[in-house]
Amino acid sequence: MKIIAKRFGWLVHPITVFVGAQICWALLVFTWIWWYFDREQTISAILGKVPTPPELQTGQWVILLQGGILLALILLGLLMTFISQRKQVRLNRLHESFLSNITHELKTPIASIRLATETLLLRELPADAQKKFLGRTLSECLRLQNLVDSILVAARLESKSYSGAKESIDLVALVENAVENFRERIGQQRQIHFEKTYSFKKNEFYIDGDSIQLQMVFDNLLSNAFKYTNDQGKITIVSTLNNKSFQVDIADDGVGIEKDALKKIFEKFYRAEGTARIRVQGSGLGLFIARSVVIAHGGTLTAESDGPEKGARFHVGFEGKIAARRG
């Protein structure tokens, strides 16, 4: 039975059912029209021999028009149902992928923390080795915390009712700190070029918002650039400040993004794999959170890529109308 179900399962696939329904409707309409024109001359001849009210002689086309309108509405309803069903199937697949990825992401730091803790408890280690294991444990704890924070922030952003803590934030300083922390974290694994183009002596650009969420935005973008480039790949950050706006461009020479994926990478749970040679684990929430937070703070976040193996570029912009430079 399973073999038969696999072989003929396409017969009950939503696309097959939808196409079959359209063919049936088309055949039905064709049959109706053919029957009408085939009988119309005979019916007209009969009506011509007997006295009939004018409304009976002219009402046939009205009925045909009404039937056509009703048929169009039925077809539209079928189409909307099909589109909704396909979206639900895609959402379920993304949800399953998210659960699989997040489970792996949670297991890895937990296993590392457990191993380091058991080693410290069961063995007498010198001070340097203890410090090394404690440092690794702290690093994994931070990784776990960042993952949990991402899930919580995504849930809050999706609820639409969440409003984070509001404070005056200097975006210039925030970006510079994010880049410096990123340098320290990755060491010499990537080439980092940080270019600053500022038009003022006092380089400040303030907005009111949540500093933790904005920090998460640039951490996610920089981490993505790191994940999707090879060892010793180049990451370029360009920070531009003028009297009207503050903009940050983060570009890499990594695997790039396909054109079709550019429209989807900011969707929740979606993960662009780039090419098969780089397999990146993640929750699929990073870019969704980044764009949602930027938009919530009045900015824009866009992505560009010339295609696979040609790198990617993310552009973050805040205009002067919604962010006031002080000083």
* 243, part of any domain: yes
CA angle (228 as vertex; 223, 230 as ends), nearest 5: 110
Is the pLDDT higher at 256 or at 199? 256
* 216, part of any domain: yes
In this predicted structure, what is the pLDDT of residue 193?
Answer: 92
In this predicted structure, what is the pLDDT of residue 8?
Answer: 62
Q: Is the predicted pLDDT of residue 11 greater than 70, yes or no? A: no
In this predicted structure, what is the pLDDT of residue 324?
Answer: 46
In this predicted structure, what is the pLDDT of residue 63?
Answer: 66
Q: Is the predicted pLDDT of residue 205 greater than 60, yes or no? A: yes
Name the 3-class secondary structure at 319. strand
Using the structure block, give the residue that is written with the tokens 């309108």: 69
In this predicted structure, what is the pLDDT of residue 179?
Answer: 93
Q: What is the overall mean pLDDT for the chain?
A: 79
CA–CA distance, 251 with 229 (Å, rounded to integer): 10
* 246, part of any domain: yes
Using the structure block, give the residue that is written with the tokens 């939503």: 14
Q: Is the predicted pLDDT of residue 280 greater than 70, yes or no? A: no
* 22, part of any domain: no
Closest Cα partner for 233 from 246, 222, 247? Answer: 222
In this predicted structure, what is the pLDDT of residue 276?
Answer: 45
Q: What share of the chain in percent tops pLDDT 90?
A: 16
Q: Which domain holds residue 224?
A: 167-319
DSSP 232-267: T-EEEEEEEE-SSEEEEEEEE-SS---HHHHTTTTS
In this predicted structure, what is the pLDDT of residue 12?
Answer: 63
In this predicted structure, what is the pLDDT of residue 53?
Answer: 59
Classify residue 275 as left (phi > 0), alpha (psi -120 to 50) or beta: beta
How far, rounded to the nearest angstrom, does the alpha carbon of residue 88 sit from its chain's CA centroid? 15
CATH number for 179: 3.30.565.10
* 325, part of any domain: no
Is the pLDDT higher at 294 or at 165? 294
Q: Is the predicted pLDDT of residue 270 greater than 60, yes or no? A: yes
49's tokens: 């021999």
Q: Is the predicted pLDDT of residue 71 greater than 90, yes or no? A: no
- Give the lowest-confidence range in 72-81, 97-106, 126-135, 192-201: 97-106
* 115, part of any domain: no
Q: Is the predicted pLDDT of residue 2 greater than 60, yes or no? A: no
- How many independent structural domains does the chain possess? 1
Q: Which is it for the CA torsion 193, 194, 198, 201, positive or negative?
A: negative
pTM of the model: 0.63
Is the pLDDT higher at 277 or at 220? 220
Is the pLDDT higher at 57 or at 143? 143
DSSP 116-134: HHHHHHHS---HHHHHHHH
CA–CA distance, 28 with 17 (Å, rounded to integer): 16
- Give the lowest-confidence range in 148-162, 168-182, 247-261, 282-296: 148-162
pLDDT bracket for residue 322 (50, 70, 90): very low
The per-residue pLDDT for range 131-182, each reduced to its tens digit, is 888 888 887 888 788 778 777 777 777 766 555 567 889 999 999 999 998 8
The residues near 119 (Cβ < 8 Å, ≥ 6 apart) are 125, 133
In this predicted structure, what is the pLDDT of residue 250?
Answer: 96
In this predicted structure, what is the pLDDT of residue 58?
Answer: 54
Averaged pLDDT for residues 119-125 = 86
* 40, part of any domain: no
Averaged pLDDT for residues 264-285 = 65
* 158, part of any domain: no
pLDDT bracket for residue 222 (50, 70, 90): very high
